[in-house]
A and B are shown apart, each in its own frame.
Chain A
Amino acid sequence: MNGSSDLVVYEEEFNKIDEELNNLYRQANAKVVFLVDKNGQLISSVGATHDLDTTSLASLTAGNIAATGSIAKILGEQEFTILFHEGEKDNLHISLVGERIILVVIFDQRTSIGLVRLRVKKTTENLEKIFDEMTRKAEQEKLESKLEDSPFAEISDDDIEKLFM
């Protein structure tokens, strides 16, 4: 497939990402922290997510970042790396991690924008390292073409048919 390459997350990296998000959630005293890729796929979330439609949130956040990214380009900016939405009770802090990941923090009056920004900065550095490592690993695996243990190699028309029954 052309264009950007697929995002493949293995268990080891996934646990590391989760740990980083949990740290941020605690240290920033946030309500919810989640990570989305720029195409709108939710990667991971922590916090009070039970009442939240995280799938829709992920897709809309990515749409938001894409729209503001285009506005930035029209203005001659590379990108707006931080977006902040202030509500009556809850606020939203959206920032970019590397080229393709979006970090979202939902927080209320129990914490402050200053603390959130500070903690997000540290988390972003750590996440960038994890994603760099992940990309490297995915490329290597592709080069070594570990097709024999791929779960997708054996997919048949029947499997696809069953999805629609």
Chain B
Amino acid sequence: MSFINYSSRELNCKIVYYGPGLCGKTTNLQYIYNKTNPQQKGKLISLATETERTLFFDFLPLALGDIKGFKVRFHLYTVPGQMFYAASRKLILKGVDGVVFVADSQVDRMDANIESLEDLKINLTEQGYELYSLPFTMQYNKRDIDDIAPVETLSEALNPTQVPEFSAVAPKGDGVFETLKDVCRQVIMELKKHY
């Protein structure tokens, strides 16, 4: 649900990074935060446990620039990946405009990816959304680790409709901005259809 303010000429959109525990959602946001000009970003807020596991959400507001005289702002959120935070995860999806699914490429995390993707679909349905009609981008993270599944295998298992997909190494930034840019593009194109 975008927020369009004709008075202050602002356009605000919400993007949620989803995925299994420890797949690198927060790392994506941290990289974006570190590489963005101070004028373009707000504070990166992390509601995390003492061991730096996301407890409720991470939040990063980005002011990217202008489109047709409107200031465009993207609010990036992550969800807590661990299964037992299901109730919190649902809340973050409220009013989402675009979704990034961060998959963990490690072979032994395949089941966790599939489970998380199913969880995403169910939670979106509860909010009245359907995943594949939303702006949706897929990211295969941790491509620099040894025991990983080939991109084709991941794509086959997690991306049946072939939404745009990107390989990533989030701590180094590989694929991070490509993913963000793609989901932002899809969100704006969706707005164009409706307004």
Contact = CB atoms under 8 A, between A and B. Distances in A.
A39 B94 contact: yes
A119 to B, nearest CB: 24
B192 A59 contact: no
Interface stretch (A10-18, A24-32, A76-84, A102-110): A10-18
A163 B95 contact: no
Interface residues of A, number: 41
Interface in B167-195: 177, 181, 184-185, 188-192, 194-195
Nearest to A62: B94
A59 B45 CA distance: 9
B5 to A, nearest CB: 5
B95 A59 contact: no
A2 B177 CA distance: 27
Contacts of A99: none
A163 B187 CA distance: 13
A59 B75 contact: yes
A9 B67 contact: no
A63 interface: yes
Contact of B43 (A53, A151, A159, A163): A53
Given A41-B3, A56-B43, A163 B91 contact: no
Given A7-B3, A11-B7, A159 B42 contact: no
A59 B3 contact: no
B157 interface: no
Contact of B6 (A9, A60, A70, A162): A9
A3 B133 CA distance: 11
A14 B185 contact: no
Given A53-B42, A160-B67, A163-B65, A4 B7 contact: no
A2 B129 contact: yes
B91 A151 contact: no
A48 B177 CA distance: 36
Contacts of B134: 1-2
Contacts of B70: 151-152
Given A8-B6, A152-B191, A162-B65, A2 B91 contact: no
Nearest to A7: B3
A133 to B, nearest CB: 15
Interface stretch (B53-61, B100-108, B142-150): B53-61
A6 B87 contact: no
A152 B68 contact: yes
Contacts of B2: 6-7
B72 interface: yes
Contact of B177 (A37, A60, A164): A164
A61 B181 CA distance: 28
A10 B191 CA distance: 17
A160 B1 contact: no
B67 A39 contact: no
A7 to B, nearest CB: 5
A4 B61 contact: no
A42 B50 CA distance: 29
A67 B88 contact: yes
Given A1-B194, A7-B3, A11-B6, 11 more contacts: A1-B133, A37-B95, A41-B14, A56-B43, A63-B47, A66-B91, A151-B69, A152-B192, A153-B192, A164-B64, A164-B184
